[in-house]
Chain A
Amino acid sequence: MIYREAGQFKTTYLNDSQIFPIAQDRYAVAALLIVAFIAIPLFASQYFFSAILIPFLIFSLAALGLNILTGYAGQISLGTAAFMAVGAFASYNFMLRVPGMPILVAFILGGICAAMVGILFGLPSLRIRGFYLAASTLATQFFVVWCLTKVPWFTNYSSSGVITAQQINILGIPFDTPGEKYVLVLIIVSVMALLAKNMVRSNVGRSWMAVRDMDVAAEVIGFRIVRTKLIAFAVSSFYCGIAGALFAFCYLGTVEPEAYNLDLSFRILFMVIIGGLGSILGSFLGAGFIVLLPTVLSVIVHYTGLPNSVTSNLELMVFGALIIFFLIVEPHGLARLWQIAKEKLRLWPFPH
């Protein structure tokens, strides 16, 4: 009843193809952005920033990157963390070795390095698909981490193999406290989410989905399969690379290659599956879900008086159960649930 589009007429195609065609959605998103940009920085605690909000945003970005590749273009990847690592270590090295390098440029260059690695390791996708492609991206995962560990140049010959991310300073403004870092991450993630949405509603997005759904027909229509797949790998890896750089610079601070291990790749894959394959919103929902789950569980464990050691095991059990649940019941994840809820809300509370 409240949530309906009655009376909102579209008179141009431009109007009809906007990102949020329903006015209520636009108000909700505007409100959300105001809260995220103004209210939260004013009122949230340090813990909230550094333990929940920053990782949530960074994981959302990584999940968004993987979602472009797996959800939209249909290419399974287990190498997400590797692309993040490339982004992080490339940005670090650009900052270290190029004097006066602005940090945002270093992030973008790090993303471009990740994109190039993505294209390189995306080449097998031209010949193989499905599980076999997953196995070949697994090779990426192990190769990149091995390479960063074994070649000391990447970690600036640090004896422990750990790097310390440089201070963030943009146009003379330092971003030191968790609150400031949160604002920086929020801006980057918002802009990149918007760009991703634009891509998936344009020709390039349609080419990804066409290749995902029926590659023979896509080719007959005139899409170039090779180009489409490699662009998907490049864009996806670019997103993951930026996420990886933010992970190092804004979240961990000091980081070793092992932080970007297979576990992280799987975590991000779970976010995409639980959030919703082929949905921008789903990437955020999935990341939010998986970042918040341990926190919520530990609170529950705390109140029930069970020993703390139960928490981590419980987390794994709930995790596994949920993934199986989603794969069986709702393969399109939380995003689809949200969409169904919206359709119901159009009529609610009147059934007809």
Chain B
Amino acid sequence: MNEQEHGRKIGDVILKVENISLRFGGVKALTDISFDVREHEIRAIIGPNGAGKSSMLNVLNGVYTPQEGVITYRGQQRKDMNTHEAAESGIARTFQNIALFSGMTVLDNIMTGRNLKIRSSFVEQAFWFGRARREEIENRAKVEEIIDFLQLQSVRKTPVARLPYGIKKRVELARALAAEPSMLLLDEPMAGMNVEEKQDMCRFVIDTNDQFGTTIVLIEHDMGVVMDISDRVVVLDYGKKIGDGTPNEVRNDPEVIKAYLGAH
């Protein structure tokens, strides 16, 4: 059911990763990885611990620069892109270990996601006048839509440090969504959650994809979740790609089974 529903709206390839290799000194984190992501799809990256999944995500949004390979995003080819350019081109992400701004409220955290939309200078903001004030109000309205969408109304003005883990993950998603990204990178959005929180999070991920048409690339360890929500799956092991295809294809791939069961 799921696959069909997504299948209808999935568009052309918007992100193409070709022959990416990433090394840290002598350690090969990624070796010759190629895959693509189509518009509006949910693309999962799975693999055992240390397979290079997070490194892959870090390459996609410019935290790491790969030694070899090319990334083409929306027709633009990039070798070394920095994180700021990635953000400007519409790539947002969440982190494996929550990377919220702990001293700020939920509202302020989500407002930071809108920073690229703000044009006024700090002097205008100091005087809280004209454009600065108008922008603040407009962006607040947008942020409130996201707060509604992710059901964070009750904690709007709570400092994030006081929130439980599951809500923090949701705030992080909200902050990423506030940028109105065309592509969203989620690094283990359900890690460490109980069943109920996982279900909520799955629903939010699917809703984001449905309502905003956001392309999603996610890393997840929970196979049930991955098989349920993703359209296509890339499997990494020891920095190499060992499988790529629909959840069903991947599930029955002997290479993948070997990597996961550890039988060599």
Contact = CB atoms under 8 A, between A and B. Distances in A.
Residue picked from A12, A212, A219, A224, most chain B C-beta under 10 Å = A219
A220 B111 contact: no
Q: Which of B93, B116, B128, B136 has the most chain A CB atoms inside 10 A of its CB?
A: B128
Interface string A235-257: 10000000000000000000000
Contact of B122 (A17, A217, A235): A235
Interface size grouping (class) on chain A:
20 to 34
A32 interface: no
Contacts of A207: 112, 115
A13 interface: yes
Contacts of A223: 112, 115
Contact of B83 (A17, A213, A214, A219): A219
A222 to B, nearest CB: 4
Given A216-B99, A220-B87, A220-B93, A202 B136 contact: yes
A206 B108 contact: yes
B254 interface: no
A222 B115 contact: yes
A267 B116 CA distance: 38
Interface string B80-103: 000110111000110100011111
Chain B interface mostly helix, strand, loop or mixed? helix
B101 A217 contact: yes
A195 B127 contact: yes
A214 B101 contact: yes
Given A203-B125, A235-B122, A13 B104 contact: no
Nearest to B139: A203
A209 B99 contact: no
A203 B103 contact: no
28 contacts: A13-B141, A14-B133, A14-B137, A17-B137, A195-B126, A198-B127, A199-B125, A202-B126, A203-B118, A203-B120, A203-B135, A206-B108, A206-B115, A209-B103, A209-B104, A210-B104, A214-B101, A217-B99, A217-B100, A218-B112, A219-B83, A219-B84, A221-B87, A221-B92, A221-B175, A231-B122, A235-B122, A278-B103
